């Protein structure tokens, strides 16, 4: 599983960071950083929740 963020859509509102702080971090510069692009399978439910809760549909999961 690879976490993909469409940075053209992302509004840096940090909703994903609230769901999965292990993977997503919005820093003081107001940009989103992906801390772990290939998280372990154990984190899949959290990533899926972040996908659903992201208000701009910016996050997706690629299987490669």
Site for ligand SF4, rule CB under 6 A: 5, 10-16, 24, 26, 32, 54-56, 58-59
User: Residues 35-54 vs another protein: string with x where CB under 8 A?
Assistant: -----------------xx-
User: Could you say which of 4, 11, 37, 62 contacts another protein (CB under 8 A)?
Assistant: 11
User: Residues 14-33 vs another protein: string with x where CB under 8 A?
Assistant: xx-xx------xxxx-x---
Residues 6+ apart with CB under 8 A from 55: 11, 13, 15
Cα(63)–Cα(29) distance, integer angstroms: 30
């Amino acid at each position: 599983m690879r976490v993909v963020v469409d940075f053209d859509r992302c509004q840096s509102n940090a909703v994903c960071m609230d769901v999965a702080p292990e993977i997503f971090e919005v820093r003081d510069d107001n940009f989103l950083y992906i801390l772990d692009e290939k998280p372990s399978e154990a984190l899949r439910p959290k990533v899926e929740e972040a996908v659903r809760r992201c208000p701009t549909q910016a996050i997706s999961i690629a299987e490669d």
